[in-house]
Structure 1
Amino acid sequence: MNKPIYVQDYQAIVAVLDQYNQGAKQADSSLMTPAFHPQATMFGVDGAGKLTGGAIDLLFEGIDSSFKPSPEAQGAIVNVDIVGTAASARIDTNDISGFCFTDFFNLLKVDGHWTVVSKIYHTHVVP
Protein backbone atom coordinates (compact mmCIF):
# COMPACT_ATOMS: atom_id res chain seq x y z
CA MET A 1 0.00 0.00 0.00
CA ASN A 2 1.31 3.45 -0.90
CA LYS A 3 1.61 6.09 1.77
CA PRO A 4 -1.18 8.68 1.24
CA ILE A 5 0.10 12.11 0.29
CA TYR A 6 -3.24 13.90 0.19
CA VAL A 7 -2.39 16.35 2.98
CA GLN A 8 0.90 17.35 1.36
CA ASP A 9 -0.78 17.72 -2.04
CA TYR A 10 -3.57 19.78 -0.49
CA GLN A 11 -1.08 22.09 1.22
CA ALA A 12 0.94 22.47 -1.99
CA ILE A 13 -2.22 23.36 -3.96
CA VAL A 14 -3.26 25.91 -1.33
CA ALA A 15 0.21 27.49 -1.59
CA VAL A 16 -0.21 27.78 -5.38
CA LEU A 17 -3.69 29.30 -5.00
CA ASP A 18 -2.37 31.74 -2.39
CA GLN A 19 0.08 33.04 -5.01
CA TYR A 20 -2.91 33.85 -7.21
CA ASN A 21 -4.80 35.50 -4.32
CA GLN A 22 -1.80 37.65 -3.33
CA GLY A 23 -1.17 38.77 -6.91
CA ALA A 24 -4.82 39.74 -7.34
CA LYS A 25 -4.97 41.54 -3.98
CA GLN A 26 -1.76 43.47 -4.66
CA ALA A 27 -2.50 43.99 -8.39
CA ASP A 28 0.89 42.51 -9.22
CA SER A 29 0.99 39.71 -11.78
CA SER A 30 4.58 38.82 -10.87
CA LEU A 31 3.23 37.40 -7.59
CA MET A 32 0.74 35.12 -9.34
CA THR A 33 2.71 34.11 -12.45
CA PRO A 34 4.51 31.22 -10.67
CA ALA A 35 1.12 29.59 -9.98
CA PHE A 36 0.41 29.09 -13.69
CA HIS A 37 1.87 26.81 -16.31
CA PRO A 38 3.16 28.89 -19.28
CA GLN A 39 0.56 27.21 -21.52
CA ALA A 40 -2.34 27.90 -19.14
CA THR A 41 -5.57 29.49 -20.34
CA MET A 42 -8.28 31.69 -18.85
CA PHE A 43 -11.86 32.07 -20.03
CA GLY A 44 -15.02 33.80 -18.90
CA VAL A 45 -18.23 35.27 -20.27
CA ASP A 46 -18.48 39.03 -20.81
CA GLY A 47 -21.47 41.28 -20.10
CA ALA A 48 -22.87 40.56 -23.56
CA GLY A 49 -22.80 36.80 -22.94
CA LYS A 50 -19.82 36.20 -25.22
CA LEU A 51 -16.83 33.98 -24.50
CA THR A 52 -13.72 35.95 -23.68
CA GLY A 53 -10.20 34.90 -22.82
CA GLY A 54 -7.32 32.87 -24.16
CA ALA A 55 -3.70 32.59 -23.10
CA ILE A 56 -3.05 33.27 -19.40
CA ASP A 57 -0.98 36.32 -20.33
CA LEU A 58 -4.32 38.12 -20.74
CA LEU A 59 -4.84 37.76 -17.00
CA PHE A 60 -1.39 39.10 -16.20
CA GLU A 61 -1.81 42.08 -18.54
CA GLY A 62 -5.22 42.87 -17.05
CA ILE A 63 -3.98 42.66 -13.46
CA ASP A 64 -1.06 45.00 -14.19
CA SER A 65 -2.93 47.52 -16.31
CA SER A 66 -6.50 47.65 -14.97
CA PHE A 67 -6.39 46.63 -11.32
CA LYS A 68 -5.17 48.51 -8.28
CA PRO A 69 -3.95 47.13 -4.96
CA SER A 70 -6.90 46.16 -2.76
CA PRO A 71 -5.74 45.69 0.84
CA GLU A 72 -9.38 45.19 1.90
CA ALA A 73 -9.88 42.32 -0.58
CA GLN A 74 -10.86 38.94 0.79
CA GLY A 75 -10.47 35.57 -0.86
CA ALA A 76 -11.59 32.14 0.27
CA ILE A 77 -10.58 28.78 -1.10
CA VAL A 78 -14.02 27.17 -1.15
CA ASN A 79 -12.96 23.69 -2.17
CA VAL A 80 -10.09 21.59 -3.45
CA ASP A 81 -10.68 18.23 -5.12
CA ILE A 82 -7.63 16.02 -5.78
CA VAL A 83 -7.41 12.77 -7.72
CA GLY A 84 -3.86 11.54 -8.32
CA THR A 85 -2.06 14.16 -10.42
CA ALA A 86 -5.20 16.17 -11.24
CA ALA A 87 -7.06 18.68 -9.08
CA SER A 88 -9.72 21.34 -9.26
CA ALA A 89 -10.31 24.25 -6.91
CA ARG A 90 -12.70 27.15 -6.39
CA ILE A 91 -11.86 30.56 -4.99
CA ASP A 92 -14.41 33.27 -4.17
CA THR A 93 -13.02 36.80 -3.85
CA ASN A 94 -14.58 40.04 -2.72
CA ASP A 95 -13.47 43.54 -3.60
CA ILE A 96 -10.56 42.89 -5.94
CA SER A 97 -10.37 46.42 -7.38
CA GLY A 98 -14.10 46.70 -6.74
CA PHE A 99 -14.97 43.35 -8.35
CA CYS A 100 -16.18 40.08 -6.89
CA PHE A 101 -15.22 36.86 -8.65
CA THR A 102 -15.74 33.15 -8.48
CA ASP A 103 -12.75 31.41 -10.06
CA PHE A 104 -12.46 27.73 -10.95
CA PHE A 105 -8.95 26.35 -11.41
CA ASN A 106 -7.75 23.11 -12.95
CA LEU A 107 -4.33 22.01 -11.74
CA LEU A 108 -1.93 19.23 -12.69
CA LYS A 109 1.03 17.87 -10.79
CA VAL A 110 3.81 18.25 -13.36
CA ASP A 111 7.32 17.06 -12.51
CA GLY A 112 6.26 16.82 -8.86
CA HIS A 113 4.86 20.39 -8.64
CA TRP A 114 1.26 21.58 -8.78
CA THR A 115 0.51 24.16 -11.47
CA VAL A 116 -2.66 25.83 -12.75
CA VAL A 117 -3.35 24.82 -16.35
CA SER A 118 -6.71 26.55 -16.75
CA LYS A 119 -8.91 29.09 -15.03
CA ILE A 120 -12.52 29.98 -15.73
CA TYR A 121 -14.30 32.72 -13.87
CA HIS A 122 -17.59 34.44 -13.17
CA THR A 123 -17.73 38.16 -12.37
CA HIS A 124 -20.50 38.93 -9.89
CA VAL A 125 -22.64 42.01 -10.31
CA VAL A 126 -21.96 44.27 -7.36
CA PRO A 127 -24.88 46.50 -6.30
Structure 2
Amino acid sequence: MNKPSYVHDYQAIVAVLNQYNDGCKQADSGLMKPAFNAQATMFSVDGDGKLAGGGIQTLFDGIDSGFKPSPEAQGAIVRVDIVGTAASARIDTNDVSGFCFTDFFHLLKVEGKWSVISKIFHTHVAPGK
Protein backbone atom coordinates (compact mmCIF):
# COMPACT_ATOMS: atom_id res chain seq x y z
CA MET A 1 0.00 0.00 0.00
CA ASN A 2 1.33 3.42 -0.92
CA LYS A 3 1.48 6.20 1.62
CA PRO A 4 -0.99 9.05 1.02
CA SER A 5 0.55 11.92 -0.88
CA TYR A 6 0.04 15.64 -0.54
CA VAL A 7 -1.85 15.42 2.78
CA HIS A 8 0.47 17.93 4.46
CA ASP A 9 0.38 20.18 1.38
CA TYR A 10 -3.41 19.96 1.23
CA GLN A 11 -3.69 21.03 4.87
CA ALA A 12 -1.27 23.91 4.30
CA ILE A 13 -3.24 25.08 1.24
CA VAL A 14 -6.53 24.91 3.14
CA ALA A 15 -4.96 27.07 5.88
CA VAL A 16 -3.91 29.64 3.26
CA LEU A 17 -7.37 29.65 1.66
CA ASN A 18 -9.01 30.04 5.07
CA GLN A 19 -6.98 33.23 5.59
CA TYR A 20 -8.68 34.55 2.45
CA ASN A 21 -12.12 33.39 3.64
CA ASP A 22 -11.61 34.99 7.06
CA GLY A 23 -10.52 38.28 5.50
CA CYS A 24 -13.63 38.31 3.29
CA LYS A 25 -15.97 37.46 6.16
CA GLN A 26 -14.48 40.14 8.43
CA ALA A 27 -13.87 42.69 5.63
CA ASP A 28 -10.24 42.96 6.75
CA SER A 29 -7.50 42.68 4.13
CA GLY A 30 -4.91 42.33 6.89
CA LEU A 31 -6.27 38.84 7.60
CA MET A 32 -5.94 37.73 3.97
CA LYS A 33 -2.68 39.41 2.94
CA PRO A 34 -0.49 36.57 4.27
CA ALA A 35 -2.23 34.20 1.84
CA PHE A 36 -0.94 36.09 -1.20
CA ASN A 37 2.47 36.46 -2.77
CA ALA A 38 3.44 40.13 -3.05
CA GLN A 39 3.48 39.74 -6.87
CA ALA A 40 0.03 38.12 -7.03
CA THR A 41 -2.63 39.30 -9.46
CA MET A 42 -6.43 39.33 -9.53
CA PHE A 43 -8.63 39.52 -12.63
CA SER A 44 -12.30 39.22 -13.56
CA VAL A 45 -14.68 40.35 -16.28
CA ASP A 46 -16.51 43.60 -15.56
CA GLY A 47 -20.15 44.47 -16.30
CA ASP A 48 -19.20 45.54 -19.83
CA GLY A 49 -17.54 42.20 -20.59
CA LYS A 50 -14.02 43.65 -20.39
CA LEU A 51 -11.01 42.37 -18.47
CA ALA A 52 -10.60 44.11 -15.13
CA GLY A 53 -7.96 43.75 -12.46
CA GLY A 54 -4.22 43.86 -11.93
CA GLY A 55 -2.03 43.70 -8.84
CA ILE A 56 -3.44 42.07 -5.72
CA GLN A 57 -3.52 45.42 -3.89
CA THR A 58 -6.77 46.00 -5.84
CA LEU A 59 -8.35 43.20 -3.80
CA PHE A 60 -7.06 44.54 -0.50
CA ASP A 61 -8.26 48.09 -1.26
CA GLY A 62 -11.68 46.80 -2.31
CA ILE A 63 -12.11 44.66 0.80
CA ASP A 64 -11.13 47.51 3.12
CA SER A 65 -13.18 50.24 1.43
CA GLY A 66 -16.20 48.52 -0.14
CA PHE A 67 -17.03 45.58 2.12
CA LYS A 68 -18.48 45.30 5.60
CA PRO A 69 -18.08 42.43 8.07
CA SER A 70 -20.47 39.62 7.17
CA PRO A 71 -20.91 37.15 10.04
CA GLU A 72 -23.45 35.26 7.90
CA ALA A 73 -20.95 34.80 5.04
CA GLN A 74 -20.27 31.22 4.02
CA GLY A 75 -17.31 29.97 2.04
CA ALA A 76 -16.68 26.46 0.79
CA ILE A 77 -13.39 25.16 -0.54
CA VAL A 78 -14.83 23.17 -3.41
CA ARG A 79 -11.65 21.79 -4.94
CA VAL A 80 -7.91 21.60 -4.37
CA ASP A 81 -5.66 20.05 -7.01
CA ILE A 82 -1.95 19.64 -6.21
CA VAL A 83 0.96 18.54 -8.39
CA GLY A 84 4.41 19.00 -6.89
CA THR A 85 4.90 22.70 -6.09
CA ALA A 86 1.85 23.90 -8.05
CA ALA A 87 -1.81 23.86 -7.04
CA SER A 88 -5.17 25.23 -8.02
CA ALA A 89 -8.24 25.69 -5.86
CA ARG A 90 -11.84 26.86 -6.09
CA ILE A 91 -13.85 28.61 -3.39
CA ASP A 92 -17.56 29.41 -3.60
CA THR A 93 -18.81 32.10 -1.22
CA ASN A 94 -22.27 33.39 -0.32
CA ASP A 95 -23.28 36.59 1.40
CA VAL A 96 -19.87 38.24 1.48
CA SER A 97 -21.06 41.79 2.08
CA GLY A 98 -24.14 40.91 0.00
CA PHE A 99 -22.18 39.30 -2.86
CA CYS A 100 -21.73 35.71 -4.04
CA PHE A 101 -18.47 34.73 -5.73
CA THR A 102 -16.71 31.82 -7.34
CA ASP A 103 -12.95 32.27 -6.95
CA PHE A 104 -10.24 30.30 -8.71
CA PHE A 105 -6.76 30.41 -7.19
CA HIS A 106 -3.36 29.34 -8.45
CA LEU A 107 -0.82 28.66 -5.72
CA LEU A 108 2.88 27.86 -5.69
CA LYS A 109 5.02 26.38 -2.96
CA VAL A 110 7.99 28.74 -2.83
CA GLU A 111 10.77 28.09 -0.31
CA GLY A 112 8.52 25.57 1.45
CA LYS A 113 5.50 27.89 1.81
CA TRP A 114 2.26 27.88 -0.18
CA SER A 115 0.89 31.23 -1.37
CA VAL A 116 -1.65 32.47 -3.89
CA ILE A 117 0.00 33.71 -7.08
CA SER A 118 -3.18 34.56 -9.00
CA LYS A 119 -6.91 34.83 -8.43
CA ILE A 120 -9.66 35.05 -11.00
CA PHE A 121 -13.29 35.26 -10.05
CA HIS A 122 -16.90 35.44 -11.15
CA THR A 123 -19.47 37.53 -9.28
CA HIS A 124 -22.90 35.90 -9.18
CA VAL A 125 -26.15 37.82 -9.09
CA ALA A 126 -27.11 37.68 -5.44
CA PRO A 127 -30.53 36.15 -4.68
CA GLY A 128 -33.28 38.74 -4.40
CA LYS A 129 -31.46 41.31 -6.55
* TM-score tier (shorter): over 0.9
Q: Which residue of 2 aligns with 1:34?
A: 34
Aligned-partner Cα distance in 2 for 1:109–1:5: 15
Q: Which residue of 2 aligns with 1:98?
A: 98
Q: Which residue of 1 aligns with 2:81?
A: 81
Aligned-partner Cα distance in 1 for 2:83–2:37: 19
Secondary structure in structure 2 of the residue aligned to 1:18: helix
Q: Which residue of 2 aligns with 1:125?
A: 125
Q: Which residue of 2 aligns with 1:70?
A: 70
Q: Which residue of 1 aligns with 2:8?
A: 8
Q: Residue 55 of structure 1: CA displacement?
A: 0.1
Q: Which stretches in structure 2 are left out of the alignment for 5+ residues?
A: none
Aligned-partner Cα distance in 2 for 1:5–1:125: 38
In the superposition, the TM-score normalised over structure 1's length comes to 0.96
Q: Residue 35 of structure 1: CA displacement?
A: 0.1
Secondary structure in structure 2 of the residue aligned to 1:48: coil
The count of aligned residue pairs is 126
Aligned structure 1 segments of 4 or more residues deviating by more than 4 angstroms: none
Secondary structure in structure 2 of the residue aligned to 1:49: coil
Q: Residue 120 of structure 1: CA displacement?
A: 0.1
Secondary structure in structure 2 of the residue aligned to 1:19: helix
Aligned-partner Cα distance in 1 for 2:36–2:27: 16
CA-to-aligned-CA distance 1:78-112 (integer Å, 9 cap, x gap): 00000000000000000000000000000000000
Q: Residue 32 of structure 1: CA displacement?
A: 0.0
Identity %: 78
Aligned-partner Cα distance in 1 for 2:115–2:5: 17
In the superposition, the TM-score normalised over structure 2's length comes to 0.95
Aligned-partner Cα distance in 2 for 1:76–1:89: 11
RMSD: 1.2
Q: Residue 4 of structure 1: CA displacement?
A: 5.5
What is the one-letter code of the residue matched to 1:80? V
